Structure 1
Amino acid sequence: MYQIMDELTLQTSLSQPVWAGLIAGAIMGNMKAGLIIGGSLQLTVLGVGTFGGASKIDANSGTVLATAFSIGAGMNPQTAVAAIGVPVASLMIETDILARFTNTYFQHRVDHMIDKLDFKGIERNYLYGVIPWTLSRGIPVFLALAFGGPFVNTAVKYLNTNLSWLNNGLQTAGGLLPAVGFAILLRYLPVKKHIAYLILGFMITALFSTLFTGLQTLGTGLTTVDSKFTTVFNSLPMLAIALIGLAFAILQYKRDIEKDKVAGAAAATKEEVTETSDEVEGEINGDED
């Protein structure tokens, strides 16, 4: 309920699925699984946006339910993303639309109170708009958590036994969903304009991953040979990749700022030249009468 309110008003970034996974995972006692599910759905909707009054899938509610049932029923996180997270997120579009329609009641009341110059009433009805938005998320999630447990437990047991082939397929689909989110994002980004950065970022990631994997394998081998060798070789942290991307973004930002300054100076110079030429045309030079 707070996340949708934050998304519409404060926008502190707590309205993102990864936060839903973190908090739900902490409550359920398995923060790692919550982060995996939240991160997967975060990447899935990475390139999805709303334009005008359009509704989008509610990845936050999908994350909360997928995390709760995954940890509670012992379901693989990737399976939970594909079997619960995405379907729930898609179904919540309907409650999002219902919240929008219900909210028009308060909007019309505001219109009426504007005519009456009832400023206190305008403020109250503006705040009342929070009610349909938050309930559109809170009620379905509450009902699913309260009454969906037995059904999910039965479904998980059936998936792990009779429908193991479907379970494997759902895990694969859950693993592919973040790639779908990246593909959608690349459709919106100016990839053609910045193709060099895309290629460079991909190659740096691939080379660093290979390098760190090799070092990690070497360290494991040395540990096997010599028990006194206790140095730990960690895999490449995603923070390093993120910082590399941030560095490129800063460089591009500075370059755009310089271009704007040059363009502004050129426009100002052109305007001054135009004004000077206009003044010269109006002057009387020499012996003209």
Structure 2
Amino acid sequence: MIQWWQILLLTLYSAYQICDELTINTSAGSPVFAGFIAGLVMGDLGTGLVIGASLQLTVLGVGTFGGASRIDATSGAVLATAFSVAQGIDPELAVTTIAVPVAALLVYTDILGRMTTTYFAHRIDTAVERFDYKGIERNYLLGAIPWALSRALPVFLALALGGSFVQTVVDFVDSVKWLAAGLTLAGRMLPGLGFAILLHYLPLKRNLHYLAAGFGITAMLTVVYANIQSLGTAVASYLEPINGLLPKDGQLSFVNNFKGLPMIGIAIIGALLAILHYKNSQRVTVVAPTASNVESGEIEDDEL
């Protein structure tokens, strides 16, 4: 059961996140941040991060260039996390049965939000002609209201009215085993799709060595940390407690603190490679786009 204060907090966050994404852009409107906030509000941070990270990878290479609308994975993460925790739905199943359909459906509210803000945009144009600076500021702030409602209203209605309906849909999906298995598999493939979209628009032909190096380093570190973690688990399971060394219970047992591959290590390696690439690019002469690199579909550095 979702409490009223949880509905209120998630609705307010949904209203804020789209305004943040369009203005100051602190990453509070990203799916992984939405999963974090929703998990914190619902009392299950792990589920929120799993769902948010899955949707973040799904839209990793998707943008809104030229004012185009895209799926609202952020609102999808909020609703999927809320219903996953409240209804006890598996996170992977929540991504495919709730998050993805909601994200696709909210494309229409995104378009509605874009259309309604044109009213305030025209009022701003009129205020500019009159040098009415207060009018410019006022209409700019009023333009945030349709954007906020385009996310907050659907999220509020879904959280307030959709609990039983969502549970009915999920129970039906669970009863059809092949459908549940297929949706779960699709949910696992979505992050790969996000990476594929991102790689399509990156200049890989010129930087294939960085991609190969990153893949190789990640693979090697994963193997190393996996072996260390397995060693720690084996030692913890076979080591006998040593008596007389701890003051409370008189026993000292081995505590397995060997964890898997930390993402901070991968992030540091990625930052080093990015800095190296940036320094190298400063020594490269800018070349005008040719027919070959335009037709390839890649976005070159000098085209950004």
- With the shorter chain as reference, the TM-score category is 0.7 to 0.9
Q: TM-score by structure 1 length?
A: 0.85
1:143 paired with 2:157, answer yes
**Residue 42 of structure 2 corresponds to which residue in structure 1?**
28
Given the alignment, which residue of 190, 193, 208 partners 2:203?
A: 190
Given the alignment, which residue of 184, 189, 192 partners 1:176?
A: 189
- The one-letter code of the counterpart of 1:193 is R
Given the alignment, which residue of 102, 106, 109 partners 2:116?
A: 102
- The one-letter code of the counterpart of 1:204 is I
Cα RMSD (Å) of the superposition?
1.7
Cα separation, partners in 2 of 1:119 and 1:218, compared to 1, 3 Å: closer
Q: Secondary structure at the match of 1:236?
A: coil
Q: TM-score by structure 2 length?
A: 0.81
**Residue 234 of structure 1 corresponds to which residue in structure 2?**
259
- The one-letter code of the counterpart of 1:19 is F
**Residue 272 of structure 1 corresponds to which residue in structure 2?**
none
Q: Once the 2 structures are TM-superposed, how far is the Cα of residue 208 of structure 1 from its aligned partner?
A: 1.3
- The one-letter code of the counterpart of 2:224 is L
Q: How many residues in Structure 1 have an aligned counterpart in Structure 2?
A: 260
**Residue 246 of structure 1 corresponds to which residue in structure 2?**
271
- The one-letter code of the counterpart of 2:104 is S
Report the Cα distance in structure 2 between the residues aligned to 1:186 and 1:157, rounded to whole angstroms.
Answer: 37
Q: Once the 2 structures are TM-superposed, how far is the Cα of residue 220 of structure 1 from its aligned partner?
A: 2.0
Aligned residues: percent identity? 55
Q: Secondary structure at the match of 1:52?
A: helix
By percentage of residues, which structure has more helix? Answer: 1
Report the Cα distance in structure 2 between the residues aligned to 1:27 and 1:122, rounded to whole angstroms.
Answer: 36
Q: Any gaps of 5 or more consecutive residues in structure 1?
A: 265-289
User: 1:62–1:84: 8 Å Cα contact kept in structure 2?
Assistant: yes
Q: Once the 2 structures are TM-superposed, how far is the Cα of residue 39 of structure 1 from its aligned partner?
A: 0.7
Q: Once the 2 structures are TM-superposed, how far is the Cα of residue 132 of structure 1 from its aligned partner?
A: 0.7
1:31-70 to structure 2, matched below 5 A, reads 31-70=45-84
Deviations 1:242-264 (CA, angstroms, capped at 9, x unpaired): 1111111111112223x06xx69
Q: Once the 2 structures are TM-superposed, how far is the Cα of residue 232 of structure 1 from its aligned partner?
A: 2.9
Given the alignment, which residue of 217, 221, 224 partners 2:234?
A: 221
Report the Cα distance in structure 2 between the residues aligned to 1:207 and 1:107, rounded to whole angstroms.
Answer: 53
Report the Cα distance in structure 2 between the residues aligned to 1:201 and 1:116, rounded to whole angstroms.
Answer: 55
Report the Cα distance in structure 1 between the residues aligned to 2:145 and 2:184, rounded to whole angstroms.
Answer: 37
Cα separation, partners in 2 of 1:122 and 1:225, compared to 1, 3 Å: closer
- The one-letter code of the counterpart of 2:28 is L
Report the Cα distance in structure 1 between the residues aligned to 2:225 and 2:85, rounded to whole angstroms.
Answer: 31
Deviations 1:72-91 (CA, angstroms, capped at 9, x unpaired): 11111111111111111111
The structure with the larger Rg is 1
Q: Secondary structure at the match of 1:204?
A: helix
1:127 paired with 2:141, answer yes
Q: Once the 2 structures are TM-superposed, how far is the Cα of residue 147 of structure 1 from its aligned partner?
A: 0.4
Deviations 1:50-104 (CA, angstroms, capped at 9, x unpaired): 1111111111111101111111111111111111111111111111111111111
Report the Cα distance in structure 1 between the residues aligned to 2:56 and 2:208, rounded to whole angstroms.
Answer: 24
**Residue 172 of structure 2 corresponds to which residue in structure 1?**
158
Deviations 1:23-59 (CA, angstroms, capped at 9, x unpaired): 0000000000000011111111000011111111111
1:19 paired with 2:33, answer yes
**Residue 251 of structure 2 corresponds to which residue in structure 1?**
none
Q: Any gaps of 5 or more consecutive residues in structure 2?
A: 1-14, 242-253, 287-304
